[in-house]
Amino acid sequence: MKNQPLNWNFAVPNAFSGEGEAVKNGPTEKAMSWMLTNPREPFQLAMPHSFVKIHVDENKSHWFYYPGGPPPLPDTEFGIAQTYGYTTETQSSSMPGGGLLCTTVSAMSVLLGTDVVGRSLDGIIFGLPEGNTTAVENYLTNRCNEMISVTGHSVGVNQVHQALSNPVTIGALIAGVRDFYLYSPDGMSLKCNPAPLAIAESPWLATMISNNPDGSEKLVIDEASMPAPIFFVPTVVPAPFCSPKLALGWGLWKKDVAWQPGTGYNGCLGQIRVKRWTNVHALGVCTFP
């Protein structure tokens, strides 16, 4: 090997520079060459012009009745799911024959939206009902570190939560915005904004912000559930010759969170999709004298 000088046509792994000098001139000419390798400074993989998309589905209310009698008898979903926004509102639903010996059972003026009102995007993703939030945090933190291009800088879970807690997202959700973008404007920090604000801060996003991830979506949080602070008394109309005996209404909060990874070839490193809904249960029971 010592009689064969280096051929710079072939790459030397982890070589950052190469130099040489003539040590002795004349008939016994001798030269030396060397290269600088392994500077002992880690360089992480980074895609500085990249982003993660966060999409929130429309919130829905689903209405359930007990025509055969109270639990453990099964419930029946009736009617079309209704949409509610990011402020509180009341909704109503009614089912003919929706209870045992009942002509109709009606859930009237039920307060909805308390699961999302006043929440930032961080609260929408990670707030109650929680589910496996650690897995979601890991996916986001991993992708966000791929956006960090300044050597020596990295981001952790706290920085991700801080970006998603941007108060701007509260007003944007109320205004009907459903798509948000997590990005690094400077290769060191994280920001989360709707498209117009994100592009204004980082103009390079304009050419790629409509791109979608190329991976397959999978549920990370699958129907997380908890009792909701929804309690009401349904309106029960008894069948002929019957009398109302029981009227009880309650609700459950539900949440799905899905992750779709992206290689980042088009700038999109992945997408979080959040689906929230409320199941409203109206129980009516009448008796025959």
pLDDT tens, position by position, 176-186: 999 999 999 99
Residue 110 is encoded by which pair of tokens? Answer: 């039920």
Q: 3-state DSSP call for residue 246?
A: strand
Residue 24 has a pLDDT of: 66
Residue 129 has a pLDDT of: 97
Mean pLDDT per segment of 10 residues, for the chain of length 289 residues? 54 59 67 63 72 98 98 97 98 98 98 98 97 96 94 94 98 98 96 98 97 96 98 98 97 98 96 99 96
What global pTM score does this model have? 0.82
CA distance linking residue 177 with residue 55, whole number of Å: 9
Rounded to 5 degrees, φ, ψ at 141 are: -65, -40
Residue 258 is encoded by which pair of tokens? Answer: 């899905």
Residue 39 has a pLDDT of: 57
Residue 231 has a pLDDT of: 97
Residue 47 has a pLDDT of: 78
15: amino acid identity, one letter: A
CA distance linking residue 182 with residue 161, whole number of Å: 11
Where in the chain does DSSP place strands (E)?
A: 15-24, 30-37, 51-56, 59-65, 76-77, 82-84, 89-96, 102-112, 179-183, 191-194, 218-232, 235-238, 243-261, 268-287
